[in-house]
A and B are shown apart, each in its own frame.
Chain A
Amino acid sequence: MTKTYPKAARPSLDDVDVAIDKGEFVFFIGPSGSGKSTIIKLLLREITPTRGRVVVNNRDVGSMRSWRIPTFRRSIGCVFQDFRLLPNRTAYENVAFALEVIGRSQSVARRVVPEVLELVGLGGKEHRYPHELSGGEQQRVAVARAFVNRPLVLLADEPTGNLDPDTSIEIMRLLDRINRTGTTVVMVTHDSNIVNQMRRRVIEIESGRVVRDQPRGVYG
């Protein structure tokens, strides 16, 4: 699969061919500008490949009709470096919002949201606002929001980029726990510490090409 952005001299991703099995935990690593984040965007169908195919859950995402995208995204959870929480809503409301806007009833939210907040270790802090939470706690809320619909795939774009090493490790433990429930986790990072500790599959990208694909790998 190749992705060339308009006006770009060379492709952001060049002839990348990667297969990820259900339930895997995969790191995409590489320097800034190597094309890692483009992978997340392609998997979310924020962009479409210039050439080739992107298949998620047996669905060709690239050729998907635009009106199917919302339903498709419900099967995918996503976490970002900057958390992307709504500042005027509590932890509980942030997670519940994700359920409400796809049509789940409030009674479902009342049952499911405390459960998932407990799972990510935020029991007792449901009614705090994001600015009352630490960075690590905010990222936990974001993970809870991404996971509350029990997605098949969890995408994480530099989820530890804004966190200190100890907090980062806690977030990684959380992602690991989620992975063990059967959820595929795809994480883009350049945090070598974390990659070395986790010992999971590592796919290294440089200038848009896969230069290494190693099970139980380390950061170069």
Chain B
Amino acid sequence: MRGRYVLSEAALGLWRNVTMTIAMIITMAVSLAILGASGLMFMQVDKMRDLYYAQVEVRIFLAEDVTEEERAELDAALAADPLVDSYSFQTSEEAYEEFRRLFEEDAPDLVEVTTPERLPESFQVHLTDPEQFAVIDQRYGSAPGVDEVVDQAGLVEQIFSILNAAQTMALLTAAIMAAAALMLVGNVIQVAAYSKRREVAVMKLVGAPNWFIQTPFVLEAVVAGLLGALVAFAALVAGKAFLLDGPLEPLTVLLTPVPWRNVLLTLPALAAIGAVVSAITGWITLRFYLKK
């Protein structure tokens, strides 16, 4: 009986103040959706890092006037180097083939004026640890017959620093939205407590237990938090279904695809965060508001 009272009071409280309730749910949902999205991104970043570094290589371009001995010496040095995982040699012809494959469609003129001789020979080196580029550069950069050592990891790092910045921005936005959402929660609880001040006064007077007085209010906050989480989850599912698997599909070349399992995993996480944070906010508000 008392359980039913608590539930109906909570529902009534949310309904009585319905515009504020909706505002609270929307801000909560936006905040949780951004949080969920950056959570998903966070899960991807590690995977992307592994994937990228597996493909990343260091190129040692040889000078045009490199001699047979110099090339053989480099070959031997690379073969013996513990930092080198694997390496291959690319002749000028092979470099030209690759060049043609890459630019034939977009820049046929460029391909026309380029001859194989103009493209340098190179060693393509996979490092055991991609972070060790500096050592490789030092070791081979000034070796005889070497023109230049180029590290693709530098490019990768740029991509990651962009991703990191985007993520920080997202988290900051989520935090600001969360602050707004929690202020709305506090406000909704205050309005609810005010509109029920007579009941609360009588309940205190006749000795109703504190949990009984407070639970309907806290429950209001929790329900709003859960609804916000549900809306946020729906937004993430829609984003995955209609954006990532839709028009943004080609992006998977650059970003690893987000698996459905991770998207579904955000529901319990967001629901728990939404409910617990709202409950704590509601409870703290009550402590200030229902004192005595």
**A-to-B contact residues, CB < 8 Å:** 44, 46, 67, 69-74, 76, 78, 84, 86-87, 97-98, 100-103, 105-106, 145, 149
Contact = CB atoms under 8 A, between A and B. Distances in A.
Contact of B206 (A67, A87, A98): A98
Interface stretch (B121-129, B144-152, B154-162, B194-202): B194-202
Nearest to B199: A86
B205 A84 contact: yes
Contacts, number: 53
A103 B2 contact: yes
A67 B211 CA distance: 10
B200 to A, nearest CB: 10
A103 B199 CA distance: 15
Interface string B214-233: 00000000000000000000
Nearest to A72: B207
Given A46-B292, A70-B207, A98 B202 contact: yes
A22 B201 CA distance: 27
Contacts of B205: 44, 73, 78, 84
A71 B292 contact: no
B198 A86 contact: yes
A3 to B, nearest CB: 15
A48 B292 CA distance: 11
B1 A84 contact: no
Interface majority SS (helix, strand, loop, mixed), chain B? helix
A38 B126 CA distance: 85
Contacts of B209: 70, 102-103
A101 B201 contact: no
Contacts of B203: 101
Contact of A70 (B199, B202, B208): B208
Nearest to A86: B198
Given A101-B206, A102-B208, A103-B212, 16 more contacts: A46-B292, A70-B204, A73-B204, A84-B198, A84-B202, A87-B198, A97-B202, A98-B202, A100-B1, A100-B2, A101-B202, A101-B203, A102-B206, A102-B207, A103-B209, A149-B206
B55 interface: no
B210 A70 contact: yes
Nearest to A149: B206
Interface of B: 1-2, 5, 198-199, 201-210, 212-213, 292
Given A73-B207, A74-B207, A101-B206, A84 B292 contact: no
A70 B206 CA distance: 8
Contacts of A145: 202, 206
Contacts of A105: 1
B1 A67 contact: no
A89 B207 CA distance: 19
B233 to A, nearest CB: 36
B201 A74 contact: no
Contacts of B208: 70, 101-102
Contacts of B1: 100, 105-106
B123 to A, nearest CB: 76
26 contacts: A46-B292, A67-B210, A70-B207, A70-B210, A73-B205, A74-B206, A74-B207, A78-B205, A84-B198, A84-B201, A84-B202, A86-B198, A97-B199, A97-B202, A100-B1, A100-B2, A101-B202, A101-B203, A101-B206, A102-B207, A102-B209, A103-B2, A103-B209, A103-B212, A105-B1, A106-B1
Nearest to B212: A101
Most buried by A among B204, B208, B292: B208
Contacts of A102: 206-209
A78 B208 CA distance: 14
B48 to A, nearest CB: 53
